[in-house]
Structure 1
Amino acid sequence: MRFMISALRSLAFYVAFYVGSVLFVLGSILSMRVSRPTFRVVVSGWSGWHRLCCRYLLGIRVNLENPVFKPNVLYAIRHESFFEAIDLPWLFQLPVVFAKAELLRIPGWGAAGRNYGLIGVEREAGAKALRIMLTEARRLIAEGRPLVIFPEGTRVPHGERRKLQAGFAGIYKLLGLPVIPVAVDSGPLYHRRWKLSGTIRYRFGEEIPPGLPRDEVETRVEAAINALNR
């Protein structure tokens, strides 16, 4: 019985969220040619629609532990599922997100993502590509927007730990921003075909100052983002 309820809830979620997403993407493409504030509201609305679908169709609540929201900070978030990736525009105020470059090649969605402030990260990027990426990041930081990165570089199953990608320490050093690590435990409920009800938690760690040696900042961030990984 529990499986059937989970399956029916998940099917309802897939239909509602993805049909709604098509409408939001179309709305974002139209609005970004007319009004930047309206465009940003549409993007945030898409993320909020996802929250509503999770809450009322899947029975997933979200709990924030020790939340800290401020501009000119690099948030380093553990990545367990698509939940936190979709949730970012609702969780933060106009976040600038370092994302896989291939996501920005998706027709329609990619154009909206670039216009909103996603920065594409090429896995094999050379020095020139890195300079362009950091220049764009600094431009958006100047607008008072927070930066967000998934320092593991990909989704990691709940219960597993992986070393941070080398690019994280480089971005931390070159941008000279403090880091706020954020743990999340979305995997057990969301990263599955038939999703489960329950509570997904974000736990915000202590702010890490800029300028630390690479080994120290990586050790502190890795420990903090895995605080719920058990």
Structure 2
Amino acid sequence: MILIRSLLYLLSMVITTVILAGLLSIIGWILPYRRRCQIANAWGGVNLWCLKFFCRLDYRIEGLEKIPEHGAIILAKHQSAWETMALRALLPPEQAWVLKRELMWIPFFGWAAATVQPIAINRKAGRKAARQVIDIGIERLKQKRLVVIFPEGTRVAPGEHKKYGMGGALLAEKTGVPVIPVAHNAGTFWRRRDIRKYPGTVEVVVGDPIRTTGRKAADINNEVESWIEQTMSHIQ
């Protein structure tokens, strides 16, 4: 039954992506930026509803009020595809996501993503990619957008740990903009390389803003990593 429900959800996700991403791809460029972001958020919200309806997978979030409309860097745990939809839906609309450039080549999804102006990087480029995150990130923060980054860079299975990349922390050091850490256990229910979505409730915890003014990137990164991983030990 879990597999059947998961396949029904997958079908619904394809349909909603074709419809909403197709809409953004066609008319997004002539809409005001905030309206484009609201359509992207609607896509995330519809998929959260479909997950609950088909797979009985819900979520509970603590601390959402700590996230401002703009002027912050969100550094989040990365375990599955769930958070790419959920954070899109739950955060204020004007978001600039750091993502791998290959995602921009996906029909409909990638075309729509381009309209909301993400920071698309070549992960193999090393320091050049980090510089891109900083340079474009500064520009996006000046445009009063939230910059959303997964510091682990790739999905990490529950119980496993990967060294956090420095891109988000370097951006914070350069700008003095606060960092807001986000922990969640989505990988328990939506696993890597598994089509099945298991019923339950994803726990999402938003931390207090971390002060970055006058601090070094390594210090910021260590505090973010420590908070997220300690919080994960309570919600895994």
Same fold (TM over 0.5): yes
Partners in 2 of 1:167 and 1:59 — Cα distance? Answer: 36
Structure-1 residue corresponding to 2:111 = 111
The 1:166/1:140 distance shift into structure 2, 3 A limit, reads: closer
Q: SS of 1:79's equivalent?
A: coil
Percent identity (aligned): 26
Structure-1 residue corresponding to 2:28 = 32
Moved over 4 A (4+): 126-133
Q: 1:199 aligns with which of 194, 201, 212?
A: 201
Higher mean alpha-carbon deviation, 136-145 vs 80-89, is at 136-145
Q: SS of 2:205's equivalent?
A: strand
The 1:168/1:136 distance shift into structure 2, 3 A limit, reads: closer
Task: Please give the TM-score of this superposition, normalised by the length of structure 2.
Answer: 0.87
Higher mean alpha-carbon deviation, 5-14 vs 109-118, is at 109-118
Gaps spanning 5+ residues in structure 2: where?
A: none
The 1:74/1:106 distance shift into structure 2, 3 A limit, reads: same
Partners in 2 of 1:168 and 1:41 — Cα distance? Answer: 24
Alignment of 1:174-189 (within 5 A): 174-189=174-189
CA drift at 1:195? 1.1
Structure-1 residue corresponding to 2:71 = 72
Q: 2:43 aligns with which of 21, 46, 50?
A: 46
Partners in 2 of 1:188 and 1:82 — Cα distance? Answer: 12
> Is it true that 1:161 corresponds to 2:166 in the alignment?
no
Structure-2 residue corresponding to 1:225 = 228
Question: Given that residues 25 and 109 in structure 1 are in contact (C-alpha distance below 8 angstroms), is that contact kept between their aligned partners in structure 2?
Answer: yes
CA drift at 1:114? 2.3
CA drift at 1:193? 1.9
Question: Given that residues 54 and 60 in structure 1 are in contact (C-alpha distance below 8 angstroms), is that contact kept between their aligned partners in structure 2?
Answer: yes
- Deviation per CA, 1:12-55: give whole Å up to 9, x if none: 10111112211112111122133235433321221111111111
Gaps spanning 5+ residues in structure 1: where?
A: none
Structure-2 residue corresponding to 1:172 = 172
| Number of residue pairs aligned between Structure 1 and Structure 2 | 226
CA drift at 1:179? 0.7
Structure-1 residue corresponding to 2:56 = 59
Partners in 2 of 1:201 and 1:53 — Cα distance? Answer: 18
Q: SS of 1:164's equivalent?
A: coil
Superposed CA RMSD: 2.0
The 1:213/1:133 distance shift into structure 2, 3 A limit, reads: closer
CA drift at 1:85? 0.9
Task: Please give the TM-score of this superposition, normalised by the length of structure 1.
Answer: 0.89
